[in-house]
């Protein structure tokens, strides 16, 4: 029997952790619905995003294994979504473990292990470190590289 699976997330700065999760969800069912958090809802979640909702949603929608993207406007829409889309499985990363057990009366609830060593916040920190390098340091680094390149010829 074909299953409908739903998940929700911000999917800011889309990365391999997001992709692996969506692919694992795809393997669980025939139809994968993804609720992408709107910018307004991210304010409620206290999440600062770099990429606006329309672009985050377009990226998720472009992924082969995703059948439908819906906006996630609030914490409270999951139950009505489960009913509206006849969802068989609600799944999300285990950073949310236990948080959505109330859905167990309406559909299967699965928490999947997060992909290690990758996160949007980690990517942002790396970017900040990279951008905080002064132009003088960069120039010096390039000069050293130039010298090394000449030495190695
Ligand atoms: N994820 C993962 N591995 C990572 C990072 C994220 O498996 N290294 C998963 C998360 O567990 C989540 C999904 O990818 O299931 C999207 O992650 P976020 O964009 O951080 O979503 P979040 O802000 O947790 O929003 O109502 C639920 C919320 O909207 C979830």
Residue identified by tokens 């992909």 is 115
Instruction: Please give the share of the chain, as a percent, with pLDDT higher than 90.
Output: 84
Dist. CA 10 → ligand 1 center (Å): 7
pLDDT tens digit string along 109-139?
Answer: 999 999 999 999 999 998 888 888 888 888 8
Distance CA(139)–CA(41), nearest Å, equals: 42
CB under 6 Å to ligand 1: residues?
A: 7-11, 17-18, 21, 37, 47, 72, 92-93, 95, 114-115, 118-119
**Res 89 pLDDT > 80:** yes
Catalytic residue chosen out of the listed positions 3, 31, 47, 124: 47
Q: What is the pLDDT of residue 131?
A: 82
CB 76, CB 82: distance < 8 Å: no
Closest CA to 76 of 114, 26, 31, 35: 35
- Prediction pTM value: 0.88
């Amino acid at each position: 029997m074909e299953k409908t699976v739903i998940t929700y997330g911000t999917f800011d700065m889309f990365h391999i952790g997001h992709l692996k999760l969506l692919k694992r969800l795809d393997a669980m069912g025939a139809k994968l619905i993804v609720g992408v958090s709107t910018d307004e809802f991210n304010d409620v979640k206290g999440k600062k995003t770099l990429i606006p909702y329309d672009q985050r949603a377009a990226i998720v929608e472009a992924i082969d294994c995703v059948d439908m993207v819906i906006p996630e406007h609030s914490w409270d829409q999951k139950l009505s979504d489960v009913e509206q889309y006849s969802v068989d499985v609600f799944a999300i990363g285990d950073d949310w473990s236990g948080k959505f057990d109330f859905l167990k009366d309406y559909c299967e609830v699965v928490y999947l292990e997060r992909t290690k060593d990758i996160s949007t916040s980690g990517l942002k920190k790396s970017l900040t470190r990279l951008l905080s390098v002064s132009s003088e340091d960069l120039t010096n680094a390039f000069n050293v590289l130039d010298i090394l390149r000449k030495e190695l010829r």
